[in-house]
Amino acid sequence: MQPITDIDIIQDSEDLDTPKQVSAEVDGTRNVYLETYGCQMNVSDSEIVASVLRKDGFGLTRNPDDADIVLINTCAIRENAEQKVRRRLSTFRSKKEKGRPDLTLGVLGCMAERLRHKLLDEEKLVDLVVGPDAYRDLPNLLHQANDSGQAAVNVQLSREETYADISPVRYDSNGVSAFVSIMRGCDNMCSFCVVPFTRGRERSRPMESILGECQQLVDAGFKEVTVLGQNVNSYRYDKNGKAISFAELLYQISLLSPDLRIRYSTSHPKDCSDELLHVHRERENVCNFIHLPVQHGNTEVLERMRRTYSRDEYLSLIDRARSIVPGISFSTDIIAGFCGETEEQHRDTLSLMELVRYDHAFMFMYSERPDTYAARKYEDDIPLDVKKRRLTEIIELQTGIAKEKNEEEIGRIHTVLVEGTSKRSDEQLCGRTDTNKMAIFDRLDFKKGDYAEVRVTDCTSATLLAEPMIVETAH
């Protein structure tokens, strides 16, 4: 999944490992502090967790010192993400040992299944371990842990669970954009990726419940939804014998309101269909932006990664998308230093980046994950200093490309959805263009949730600086 960030370049994704949010205040019998690591899907899952807990009378607090229960929604995608979560758990554990014996400490999400024995038995770090498909069971498990003083565990993965009927509590939302989960799990089995093991088999949420949630968001004044899944392009839902595709689903969401912008993440290049590209072209409110992880620029490495497309197939997909949807923008994920990567193969990644010229990229060093195909079959043989140097070359190239692409925007006019006040100044607002570029401009009379027409005047590699277009009103 695409990490959440204001900036377009993340050195081995520091940002991915930073907690995104803690919960807003809601009083209850026992108060929960919830901290979320990892991708957008985890943020969305935490909103489901908040909903399940609130329904059962638990309160939510922003302050861990006020909490009776601390829950950490974890990420296992790379080793450093896992280490960060462990350090955080140790901090809470020592709080518990130093005068807060009643504090319940729980691990949710992707680390749950793999590390449950370690976390529970060996390191005795936590009282509760709950996998991503067992959140309905949380109140029960919390009561159980509280009553018995024994650890409570449910890491069962499901083939059906989509939490379709649970209304997420958007506790830290900006009131403008929201995530809507449309499917869970992944059947792709990319050789480097732990997600199919931590999140289980792919399953799609019924279209009616997705449309219902989006309609509620429209009614509540939201202006943007990002629909989420590990691999949204393989969304499939059977409605009265008719298979609904992802393209059809997007089309249906786009009909709900012309004022609602629609984005999605993450899409796999192998099944990015022409039908989908035509939805981008035809529906104004389906944003002209696709996060299309390439992972690598060399066909042999892509084969070993089990990505099921070649360099040329990926490049022709980009060409097709650009010819069907002129002006469409792309971001990507790239892995440096995968097993057996030669210097020449690394240069293929650089040359692919030069050909595609991504607007954004999330760039990572390969990190071996236990149980994956790569861990079992290949040697993690690229020395750390070589991985680092290759990643740096990739990042430097992308920074230059992003800056040049942003410079090309100077003088252009964009419609920006206002998300809030800019971090730089209270006098300025920030928001995204249709193509997912962050723009900063003077506040004037605009407010959060407005669409503002702006002209780009300057830029950095990460941000467009812009001026609002003054609309002359007739008297």
DSSP letters for 131-150: -TT-GGGHHHHHHHHHHH-S
Which DSSP state fits 77?
S
Q: Quick one: 7 or 189, whose CB is closer to ligand SF4?
A: 189
Which helix (H) or strand (E) segment holds residue 323: the answer is helix 311-324
Q: Interface with ligand SF4 includes 188 (CB under 6 A)?
A: yes
List binders of ligand SF4 among 293-332 (CB under 6 A).
Answer: none
Query: What does 364 bind: ligand SF4, ligand 5AD, none (CB cut-off 5 to 8 Å by kind)?
Result: ligand 5AD
For ligand SF4 (CB under 6 A), the number of binding residues is 10
Q: Interface with ligand SF4 includes 456 (CB under 6 A)?
A: no
274 three-state secondary structure:
helix
HSE at residue 68, side-chain half, CA atoms within 13 A, is 13
Q: State how far Cα 245 lies from the chain centre.
A: 21
List binders of ligand 5AD among 184-203 (CB under 6 A).
Answer: 192-193
Q: Quick one: 111 or 125, whose CB is closer to ligand SF4?
A: 111
Q: Which residues contact 305 (CB under 8 A, 6 or more apart)?
A: 190, 191, 192, 295, 296, 335, 338, 374
Q: Which residue has the tokens 């942003």?
A: 406
Q: Interface with ligand SF4 includes 106 (CB under 6 A)?
A: no
The values of phi and psi at residue 459, to 5°, are -160, 165
Query: What does 71 bind: ligand 5AD, ligand SF4, none (CB cut-off 5 to 8 Å by kind)?
Result: none
Query: What does 78 bind: ligand SF4, ligand 5AD, none (CB cut-off 5 to 8 Å by kind)?
Result: ligand 5AD
Q: Of 193-201, 271-279, 391-399, 456-464, which part binds ligand SF4 (CB under 6 A)? A: 193-201
The stretches of 130-267 forming alpha helices (DSSP H) are 138-148, 195-199, 207-219, 246-254
Q: Quick one: 185 or 449, whose CB is closer to ligand 5AD?
A: 185
Q: Interface with ligand SF4 includes 230 (CB under 6 A)?
A: yes
Shortest CA distance to 119 belongs to which of 103, 130, 132, 134? 130
Q: Which of 46, 154, 295, 422 binds ligand 5AD (CB under 6 A)?
A: 295
End-to-end CA, the chain: 50
Shortest CA distance to 253 belongs to which of 218, 220, 201? 218
Query: What does 441 bind: ligand 5AD, ligand SF4, none (CB cut-off 5 to 8 Å by kind)?
Result: none
Q: Interface with ligand 5AD includes 42 (CB under 6 A)?
A: no
Q: Of 186-194, 220-228, 349-357, 379-387, which part binds ligand SF4 (CB under 6 A)? A: 186-194
Query: What does 188 bind: ligand 5AD, ligand SF4, none (CB cut-off 5 to 8 Å by kind)?
Result: ligand SF4
Closest approach of ligand 5AD to the CB of residue 333, in Å: 3
Query: What does 230 bind: ligand 5AD, ligand SF4, none (CB cut-off 5 to 8 Å by kind)?
Result: ligand SF4
CA dihedral 46, 49, 53, 56 (to 10 degrees): 150
List binders of ligand SF4 among 267-296 (CB under 6 A).
Answer: 268
Q: Interface with ligand 5AD includes 171 (CB under 6 A)?
A: no
Q: Interface with ligand 5AD includes 111 (CB under 6 A)?
A: no
Q: Of 103-111, 189-197, 281-289, 338-346, which part binds ligand SF4 (CB under 6 A)? A: 189-197
Query: What does 264 bind: ligand SF4, ligand 5AD, none (CB cut-off 5 to 8 Å by kind)?
Result: none
Q: Interface with ligand SF4 includes 13 (CB under 6 A)?
A: no
Task: State both tokens at 427.
Answer: 């006098």
Burial of 374 (0-12, 13-18, 19+ CB in 10 A): buried
Pair 126, 89: CB distance under 8 Å: yes
* Preceding amide of 266 cis, omega within 30: yes
Single-letter amino acid code for the residue at 353 = M
Sign of CA dihedral 257, 259, 263, 269: positive
Burial of 470 (0-12, 13-18, 19+ CB in 10 A): exposed
Q: Quick one: 271 or 450, whose CB is closer to ligand SF4?
A: 271
Residues that bind ligand SF4 (CB under 6 A): 186, 188-190, 193, 195-196, 230-231, 268
Residues that bind ligand 5AD (CB under 6 A): 1, 77-78, 192-193, 293, 295, 333, 335, 364, 366-367, 369
